[in-house]
């Protein structure tokens, strides 16, 4: 089980039992994160004890059903970090899928298998989830387009939750055109942004005294949106750290409400870092939550104020390229806090965010994200497809970029 295929795809499915009909997604292969139920197939959520303690589903996720009814061919269930509670892409029980773009770096999680299978051209649509960055991070690390949808925009029924107040459905593709096509199946129609008249706010994070928005980021944005009016907002480390902590506390409280009884009763075997996170979630108090709720209102006000004179926010998706596979636990912990300062912005406000693989840093993929107003998911996807129609991107396998 050392190949990219073995580790990215958790289980291949019998094609005769999942044959797709014709439709707008006909000819596209679908990989489904092992959080979504498929009738007759065990859902393990990345942990063997979950699969053993839950019955095999007899109902398929409505998201999977909608994609299949639109013509997508379901190929298999893909790897996930344990209960989706990680952004690294490592799994203590099933292994770490090989990042096909940067073999010495993490694939990113928790939608690791969907990202790797898509980047390796095993599937064309990698269905996943995003709570704290689980689509956006592996999209960045594997050179893919990816969307985290507005909270509540797509049903999470028949899906293993992590933190329901933040859980969203998302997907990854090698090109912006396919990303948009999937959105046309799953999302409601919205007015379309006009690229030439866009007002955008560029968020420039500064962490540990280092600017994360670099000349390379600005150059990629200028090539993407040469006619837009840009205003720039610096984001200091204290603000980002506070946003990360606020999100993590509220997420942790929701996670323990959702899974605490199961963890206490079953006592599942977790990887050390996952176990540590569940222990931390269990330690959070009502007072911790109340304080975080106060901060949440303040952060949401700031985030929504950025849209007062802008249609779209722009920022680096991650602090940089994927960490190396041999990075220390201490480094990964510090990096995770930085990373969640960036991903918390859309998470705290429930906004859609699309990653664009426009950069290569230290020989590995990276990029920028566009964040839209809540409910403007399809408009954001249409905008990205239009902007990337003729623009070369740094995703690993190329592909067409038109809507």
Give 57-91 pLDDT, tens digit per residue: 999 999 999 999 999 999 999 999 999 999 999 99
Q: Is position 402 within any domain?
A: no
Is position 161 within any domain?
Answer: yes
Residue 403 lies in a domain: no
In a domain, 399, yes or no: no
Asked, for residue 398, whether it belongs to a domain, the answer is no
Q: Into how many domains does the chain fold?
A: 1
Is a pLDDT exceeding 50 seen at residue 147? Answer: yes
247 belongs to a structural domain: yes
pLDDT value of residue 37: 98
**Nearest CA to 233 among 310, 176, 319, 177?**
310
Q: Please tell me the pTM assigned to this model.
A: 0.94
Q: If we measure between CA atoms, which residue out of 3, 40, 1 comes closest to residue 18?
A: 40
Give the separation between CA 54 and CA 401, rounded to whole angstroms.
41
* Per-residue model confidence as pLDDT tens digits over 368-397: 999 999 999 999 999 999 999 876 655 544
Beta strands per DSSP E along 236-311: none
- C-alpha 153/C-alpha 346 separation (Å) is 14
Instruction: Return the pLDDT at 12.
Output: 74
- pLDDT category at 175 given cuts 50, 70, 90 is very high
Share of the chain above pLDDT 90, in %: 85
> What CATH number is associated with residue 251?
3.90.1300.10
Residue 253 placed within a domain: yes
pLDDT tens, residue by residue, 331-340: 998 899 889 9
Do 331 and 323 meet the contact criterion of CB atoms below 8 Å apart? yes
Query: Domain for residue 401, yes or no?
Result: no
Residues labelled catalytic:
33, 110, 134
Structural domain harbouring 173: 4-387
């Amino acid at each position: 089980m050392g190949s990219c295929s073995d580790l990215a795809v958790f289980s291949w499915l019998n094609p005769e039992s999942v044959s797709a009909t014709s439709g707008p997604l006909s000819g596209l292969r679908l990989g489904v994160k092992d959080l979504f139920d498929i009738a007759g197939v065990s859902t393990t959520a990345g942990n063997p004890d979950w699969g053993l303690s839950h019955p095999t589903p007899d109902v398929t996720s409505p998201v999977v059903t909608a994609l299949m009814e639109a013509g997508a061919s379901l190929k298999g269930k893909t790897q996930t970090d344990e209960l989706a509670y990680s952004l690294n892409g490592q799994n203590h029980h099933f292994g770490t899928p090989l990042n096909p773009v940067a073999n010495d770096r993490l694939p990113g999680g928790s939608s690791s298998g969907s990202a790797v299978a898509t980047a390796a051209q095993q599937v064309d649509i990698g269905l996943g989830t995003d709570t704290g960055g689980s689509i956006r991070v592996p999209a960045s690390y594997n050179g893919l387009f990816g969307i985290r949808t507005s909270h509540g925009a797509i049903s999470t029924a028949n899906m293993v939750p992590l933190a329901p107040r933040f859980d969203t459905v998302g997907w990854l593709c090698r090109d912006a055109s396919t990303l948009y096509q999937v959105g046309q199946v799953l999302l409601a129609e919205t007015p379309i942004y006009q690229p030439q008249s866009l007002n955008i706010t560029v968020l420039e994070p500064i962490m540990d005294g280092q600017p994360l928005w670099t000349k390379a980021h600005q150059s990629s944005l200028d090539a993407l949106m040469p006619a837009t009016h840009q205003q720039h907002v610096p984001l200091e480390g204290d603000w980002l750290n506070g946003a990360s902590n606020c999100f993590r506390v509220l997420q942790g409280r929701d996670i323990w409400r959702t899974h605490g009884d199961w963890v206490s009763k079953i006592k599942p075997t977790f990887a050390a870092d996952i176990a540590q996170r569940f222990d931390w979630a269990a330690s959070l108090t009502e007072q911790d939550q109340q304080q975080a709720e106060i901060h949440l209102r303040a952060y949401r006000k700031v985030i929504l104020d950025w849209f007062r004179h802008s249609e779209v926010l722009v920022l680096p998706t991650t602090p940089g390229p994927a960490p190396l596979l041999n990075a220390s636990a201490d480094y990964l912990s510090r990096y995770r806090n930085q990373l969640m300062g960036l991903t918390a912005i859309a998470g705290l406000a429930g906004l859609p965010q699309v990653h664009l693989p426009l950069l290569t840093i230290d020989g590995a993929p990276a990029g920028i994200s566009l964040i839209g107003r809540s409910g403007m998911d399809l408009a954001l996807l249409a905008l990205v497809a239009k902007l990337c129609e003729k623009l070369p991107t740094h995703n690993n396998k190329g592909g067409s970029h038109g809507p």
